[in-house]
Amino acid sequence: MTSLAIAKCAVTDHTTTEHPSASGPGQTVLRVERLGKIFGDQNPAAVAHTGPDAGTEKSPDGNSVVAAWDVSFDVAAGEAFGVIGESGSGKSTVMRAIAGDHSSTAGSVWMQRRDGSTVDLLTMTASERRALRVDELSVVYQDAAEGLDLGVTAGGNIADRLTAAGWRNFGQIRERAAELLGRTEVPLERMDDLVRTFSGGMRQRVQLARALANRPPIVLLDEPTTGLDASVAAGVLDLIRSLLEELGIAAVVVSHDFAVIEMLTTRCMVMQHGRVVEQGLTDQLFEDPQAPYTQRLVAAARA
């Protein structure tokens, strides 16, 4: 892991001014190496009988699902990397492996930490992972119920993140929560309403505010606008792009939607049946796709 550049970075302070991540541009902050995940029987023989050529991610005996195999990519500081594919392609599996929502079968996920050290996320314990999620690696889920406590107020959901990072002063917490909700365009008068009473678009905005509360250098976004009305989705997308750009946050964006990947990312990869079929610059991948599968996907999206 020598090629991961190391940058010294200030410990989280509690000021409210935003600044880009301390890692310089171009430095790799996340590197996924030959990641693999098999559900069911952990039978390595299943790998050979699955994937795009086999036309399935399920092993012939039906006891193993090779949800992702041999997945590698890296993300530089401030860069957004896209993962695109249909249902069952393995894109969410990859995201959940990085997030630590489930264990992985193979590979490594190297991440550069705030203190400059580099760690393989897959070797960390569950409690170490939880600590990481507080202020170094945030996740925004398609279903807000996964990223938020719906029975708590919008402000409370954010305060929860702030206190986990060591904030103690009530006034400062309120102030920071209000500032974050302002940034994500949630009306301040709704700060003390339960998230359950929020619309889908508003819930995603609260999720974003919570995810960004402690200014993580890396955010994972899993279908962040899927299920929202088109006009609402456009607003949330635009907000995500502005925030990533202004805060210099690196992101992994997982989506089945070409428009989302095109708008948010500069590089991306295409997955099918648990494997990467193509990787490239986002505009090149959409204008000059090489793999037959990608050509079909692009043609379908343009039709």
How many CB atoms within 10 Å of residue 192? 11
Using an 8 Å Cβ cutoff, are 198 and 206 in contact?
yes
Q: Which two tokens stand for residue 195?
A: 């998230």
Q: Where does the chain show beta strands of DSSP type E?
A: 28-40, 64-76, 80-84, 106-112, 118-120, 137-140, 218-222, 250-255, 267-272, 275-281
Residue from 120, 196, 280, 301 binding another protein (CB under 8 A): 280
Residue from 13, 79, 211, 251 binding another protein (CB under 8 A): 79
Residue closer to another protein, measured from CB, 26 or 60: 26
24 binds another protein (CB under 8 A): no
88 binds another protein (CB under 8 A): no
d(C-alpha 97, C-alpha 100), whole Å: 5
Residue from 29, 237, 244, 254 binding another protein (CB under 8 A): 237
44 binds another protein (CB under 8 A): no
Please report where in the chains the tokens 């428009």 appear, as a residue: 259
Mask 179-218, x = binds another protein (CB under 8 A)? ----------------------------------------
Half-sphere exposure of 150 (CA within 13 A, CB side): 12
d(C-alpha 164, C-alpha 166), whole Å: 5
140 binds another protein (CB under 8 A): no
# residues contacting another protein (CB under 8 A): 25
Q: Which two tokens stand for residue 185?
A: 């365009």
Shortest distance, CB of residue 268 to another protein, whole angstroms? Answer: 10
Residue closer to another protein, measured from CB, 1 or 300: 300
238 binds another protein (CB under 8 A): yes
Residue closer to another protein, measured from CB, 183 or 267: 267
Residue closer to another protein, measured from CB, 106 or 218: 218
279 binds another protein (CB under 8 A): yes
Residue from 283, 301, 302, 303 binding another protein (CB under 8 A): 283
Q: Which two tokens stand for residue 215?
A: 């200014």
288 binds another protein (CB under 8 A): yes
17 binds another protein (CB under 8 A): no
From edge to edge, which strands make up the β-sheet containing 118-120? 64-76, 28-40, 106-112, 118-120
103 binds another protein (CB under 8 A): no
Closest CA to 100 of 66, 69, 137: 137
d(C-alpha 265, C-alpha 278), whole Å: 15
Residues of this chain that bind another protein (CB under 8 A): 25-26, 74, 76, 79, 234-235, 237-238, 241, 266-267, 279-281, 283-284, 287-288, 290-292, 295-296, 299
